[in-house]
Chain A
Amino acid sequence: MTDFDYAPALESRSIVTIESEYGHFINGEFVKGANHFPTINPSNEEVLSQISLGGAQDIDRAVASARVAFESTWSKMPGKERGKYLYRIARIMQERSREFAVLESLDNGKPIRESRDIDIPLACAHFFYHAGWADKLEFAGVGSSPRPLGVAGQIIPWNFPLLMLAWKIAPALAAGNTVVLKPAETTSLTALLFAQVCQQAELPAGVVNIVTGDGRTGSALVDHPGIDKIAFTGSTQVGKAIARAIAPTKKKATLELGGKAANIVFDDAPVDECVEGIVNGIFFNQGHVCCAGSRLIVQESIAEEIVSQLKVRMSKIRVGDPLDKNTDLGAINSAEQLSKITALTKSGEDEGAMRWSPECALPKKGFWFAPTVFTGVTQAHRIAQEEIFGPVLSVLTFRTPQEAIEKANNTPYGLSAGVWSEKGSRIHWASQQLKAGVIWANTFNKFDPTSPFGGYKESGWGREGGSHGLTAYLKSAEEGGNNE
């Protein structure tokens, strides 16, 4: 009897063409940039390309072109025509979806199975969904003739590069706004490919502008007086900085920040599916997920069984080359993130929690972290309070349902939560008690363009998806003219 070793099943890279160097996408054209820095493949540290560090001037040009496009073209265009541009974009993205998936995995480090089956299809779906709103804004709940806000400055993170781009750009455009988007420093490539799609869709120049760079580029965008609305997804720390920066202005903002979600397991949970949900909750996307179920809060009477099944399941997680179709857990996105994860994980050990990982052969080059679970964790531990943003699960226990809720809510965050039970009324009760913007019952990490996403408390402001997300890009006719 030999083991069933899966042979390497690599998705081919040849579908993707990466330029040696990129500039920005402003006013419908690719323009040269400056101050290039390398973007690497985190699974092997190979340099993929050189990305421009956008400066104040680049931001200025981009905002100006977005403003002109807004005033002269986009805000005047009937909704049904705007919608048809968005449909074109959705269709072209669908056509080029394999190309996007491979590029995303190369640039981000996530497994091709996830980029192919989740990231890219969801991104396409977001454009499709919002295309259908463009000519129906009078039904969105902002009065009978809602207006766009103007020019939106959008800053997105590195964990779901193309998907976060879709979450930002699709509703903004559907509502009649134009955008300047700054992708994350380590993951700009799919945004730049998206710019090509905008060209193929013949999107009017200036409606979408993409300026690459780092935190300073983002700041320049936030501070620019020509921006009416800011949409940011990233760390709570930066979110607070943005809130302070725009306080004296009239700029509107939505923020989608961090989380430390509780995944609550009651003793009547469907065990196998629950274990799968726990694994999905914290190891999907290497745990680089704001809504990750990073705290397993399990009823004490069933804790041993769940943890033991969880460890068995974790031993089957395949860590490896993101382009291998059988990889479950890919690379950590950057050296910086890896050292944060390492440091916090060490604190868990130092503070007395018990650490366990399955045996894992980690590649020598690249940034890797084995799936890890800590048992014996309590709310007083750093690893129960601070967002690790990595494949590290903390396990706490509870005795009564009320205690589970109290522990779950005992955090400044409030983005998401999970509840596992076969009893419907208990699920509804828990959902009512939990202070979280997204609650998954008997499932986890499910996303849909129709389903609003966003958090309570320090997990941010506002929602994305559904009519709730759309209205963040609109104002009622009574609210006055643009930029007032």
Chain B
Amino acid sequence: MEFYGLVDGTEISLRKFLQTLSGVDQIGAEARAAMLATRSIKTSAKNWAIDLAISMVDLTTLEGADTPGKVRALCNKAVRPDSTDSSVPSVGAICVYNDMVAIAREHLDSIGGSHVPVAAVSTAFPSGRASMAVKIQDTQDALDAGATEIDMVIDRGAFLSGQFQVVFDEIAKIRTLCGTKAHLKVILETGELVTYDNVRTASFIAMLAGADFIKTSTGKVSPAATPPVVLVMLEAVRDFHQLTNHKIGVKAAGGIRTTKDAIKQLVLVNETVGSQWLSPSLFRIGASALLNDLLMQRMKARDGFYPSPSYVSID
């Protein structure tokens, strides 16, 4: 059924639907996230969570200075995060700009990493300020180069000026372009949306238009994946599942630097949407520095003493 039978593609239908959404109380949402942050995850639970978090990391490099060398090094790290310990799982995906996709895909395949997907950021990432033609070309280039995940940005200018249908249509077009070649993550850039009400509304627009994942941020704007923002998005995903029986994934990207941060995210998932979402197919963490902190925590658990950064590779 197109758009899950909830909207028909017209602006009036979208507005009507959005009006049925309840609001979010800022203080209440932040209090709930803060309470969940007090969960104490120790011993066996912590070890399990660390390995799960590693498998959920979208290892990312999105710099103007990216080179083939840098990308290949990232791929090596992605497949074997700890060269001294083969029990460490590989990460969830590699995330790069579209002109690095081919390099990444080729290198991954050559080092035994064909199971690691390549995600490309798209639609004039990070700002999204370009013509639709450019955004489509951006996406097509990535798909042609072998990306099986597309992380697009929504048009925040359109959203903030109330042009929800414009936002919706762009997502629907990119979803159609992806077809069965790639899953689509829709980046809301929650730091620019500012209010939790906006995050909830944007989440629903994205899900209705065909997102497979909703993603918090580009990582270029702060604040990014704060616990209350992720909480609100998980609640939207939960509500959407209750309405449609369809599971949408969530990607938390930006500001998640330590194992503690990552585990807090997993707790949010667990107590909001439930353990079915505790899998890389439905939850991802966009990060770069996080991986080494996870590895160091893993070492501490394994060895019983505190490690030093000298014992994990920088790339």
1/0 per residue B45-71: CB within 8 Å of A?
110110000000000000000000000
Chain A residues near B22 (CB-CB < 8 A): 268-272
Tell me if A385 is interfacial: C-beta within 8 Å of chain B.
Answer: no
- B32 in contact with A325 (CB, 8 Å): no
- Residue B13 interfacial (CB < 8 Å): no
A181-B279 Cα distance, complex, nearest whole Å: 55
Tell me which residues across on chain B come within 8 A of A277, comparing CB atoms.
28
List 26 A-B pairs, Cβ < 8 Å.
A1-B275, A1-B276, A2-B48, A2-B275, A4-B45, A4-B48, A4-B49, A4-B267, A4-B270, A4-B275, A5-B45, A6-B41, A7-B42, A7-B43, A7-B46, A9-B40, A9-B41, A268-B22, A272-B235, A273-B24, A273-B28, A274-B28, A422-B23, A442-B25, A442-B28, A443-B27
Q: Inside 8 A of B31's CB, which chain A residues have their CB?
A: 276
- Other than the known A2-B48, A273-B28, what 6 A-B pairs have Cβ atoms closer than 8 Å? A1-B275, A1-B279, A4-B49, A4-B278, A316-B271, A325-B39
B40 touches A325 (CB 8 A): yes
Q: Mark out the residues of chain B between 235 and 289 whose CB falls within 8 Å of any chain A CB in the assembled complex.
A: 235, 266-267, 270-271, 275-276, 278-279
Of all chain A residues, the one with the shortest Cβ separation from B49 is A4
B102 contact set on A, CB distance < 8 A: none
Closest chain-A Cβ to B275's Cβ sits at a distance in Å of 5
Q: How many B residues are at the interface, by size bracket?
A: 20 to 34
Supposing A1-B278, A1-B279, A422-B23 touch, asked if A6 and B28 sit within 8 A by C-beta, the answer is no
State A168–B29 Cα separation when bound (angstroms). 33
Contacts A272-B32, A273-B32, A316-B271 given; indicate if A7 touches B25 (C-beta within 8 A). no
**Residue of chain B at shortest CB distance from A11:** B40
Closest chain-B Cβ to A316's Cβ sits at a distance in Å of 5
In the complex, whether A350 has a CB less than 8 A from a CB of chain B is no
B28 and chain A: residue at smallest CB distance: A273
Q: Which residues of B contact A268 (CB under 8 A)?
A: 22-23
Chain B interface residues toward A at CB < 8 A: 22-25, 27-29, 31-32, 38-46, 48-49, 235, 266-267, 270-271, 275-276, 278-279
Name the distance in Å between B56's Cβ and chain A's nearest Cβ. 13
- Which residues does chain B contribute within 8 Å of A326, judged by CB atoms? 39-40
Q: Is A229 an interface residue (CB 8 A)?
A: no
Contacts of B43 in A (CB 8 A): 7
Q: How far is the CB of A63 from chain B (nearest CB, A)?
A: 43
Tell me if A9 and B42 are in contact (CB < 8 A): yes
Check: A336 CB closer than 8 A to any chain B CB. Answer: no
Q: How far is the CB of A287 from chain B (nearest CB, A)?
A: 18
Which residues, 160 to 196 on A, are CB-close (under 8 Å) to B?
A: none
The chain A residue with its CB closest to the CB of B31 is A276
CB–CB A272/B279 < 8 A: no
- The reply to whether A3 and B28 contact each other, CB–CB distance below 8 Å, is no
| Min C-beta distance of A158 to chain B, whole Å | 25
Answer yes or no: A117 CB below 8 A from chain B CBs.
Answer: yes
Residues facing B in A11-36 (CB within 8 A) are: none
Complex CA–CA separation, A326 to B45 (angstroms): 12
A7 to B47 CA separation, bound complex (whole angstroms): 10
Interface of A is mostly: loop
Residue of B nearest to A442 (CB): B25
With a cutoff of 8 Å between Cβ atoms, the chain B residues found around residue A270 in the complex are 22-25, 28
Whole-angstrom distance between the Cβ of A171 and the nearest chain B Cβ:
28
Which 3 pairs, one residue from A and one from B, show the smallest C-beta to C-beta distance?
A273-B28, A9-B40, A273-B25
A269 CA to B40 CA, complexed, in Å = 31
CA gap between A271 and B236 in the complex, in Å: 11
Mask of A300-315 contacts with B, CB within 8 angstroms, 1/0: 0000000000000000
Q: Judge if A130 is at the interface, Cβ distance under 8 Å.
A: no
Q: Is there an interface contact between A7 and B44, defined as CB atoms closer than 8 Å?
A: yes
Decide yes or no whether A98 CB sits under 8 A from chain B.
Answer: no
Instruction: Give bound CA distance, A25 to B25, whole Å.
Output: 47
Cβ of A113 within 8 Å of any chain B Cβ, yes or no, is yes
A305 to B40, CA, bound (A): 31
Given contacts A1-B276, A6-B45, contact A443 B38 (CB under 8 A): no
Closest to A277 in B: B28
Chain A hits for B275, CB < 8 A: 1-4
- How far, in angstroms, from A274 to B266 measured CA to CA in the complex? 23
Query: A1-B279, A325-B38 known; A7 and B29 CB under 8 Å?
Result: no
Which chain B residues border A272 with CB–CB below 8 Å?
A: 22, 24, 28-29, 32, 235
Contact of B27 among A2, A113, A422, A442 (CB under 8 A): A442
Chain A residues with Cβ below 8 Å from B278 are: 1, 4
Chain A positions within 8 Å of B267 at CB level: 4
Most-contacted residue by chain A among B22, B27, B38, B276 (CB, 10 A): B22
Task: Give the docked Cα–Cα distance between A272 and B268 (Å).
Answer: 14
Q: Mask for A351-366, Cβ within 8 A of B = 1, else 0?
A: 0000000000000000
Interface positions of A from 267 to 285, Cβ below 8 Å from B: 268-274, 276-277
CB neighbours (8 Å) of A276 from chain B are: 28, 31-32
A223 to B152 Cα, complex, angstroms: 75
For B42, list chain A residues within 8 Å (CB).
Answer: 7-9
Which A residues touch B271, using CB under 8 A?
A: 316
Q: How far is the CA of A273 from the CA of B25 in the complex (A)?
A: 6
CB distance from A251 to the nearest CB of B (A): 41
Interface centre among A4, A271, A422 (most CB of B within 10 A): A4
Q: What CA separation (Å) do A400 and B123 show in the bound complex?
A: 49
Nearest chain B CB to A451 CB, angstrom units: 16
CA distance A422 to B276 in the complex (A): 32
CA distance A5 to B52 in the complex (A): 13
Q: Quick check: B45 and A7 within 8 Å, CB to CB?
A: yes
A30 vs chain B, min Cβ distance (A):
35
Q: B199 to nearest A CB, angstroms?
A: 12
A113 (CB) vs chain B CBs: closest residue: B38
Determine which residue in A3, A9, A272, A274 has the highest number of CB atoms from chain B within 10 A of its CB, and name it.
Answer: A272
Task: Give the residues in chain B near A1, CB-CB below 8 Å.
Answer: 275-276, 278-279
Counting chain A CB atoms within 10 Å of each CB, the highest count among B28, B31, B38 belongs to: B28
Chain A nearest CB: distance from B85 CB in Å?
A: 22
Q: Nearest Cβ distance between residue B243 and chain A, in whole angstroms?
A: 12
C-alpha gap A274/B270 in the complex (Å):
20
- Whole-angstrom distance between the Cβ of A420 and the nearest chain B Cβ: 9
Alpha-carbon separation in the docked complex, A326 to B27 (Å): 22
Q: Do B39 and A6 touch across chains, with their CB atoms under 8 A apart?
A: yes
| B49 surroundings in chain A (CB, below 8 A) | 4
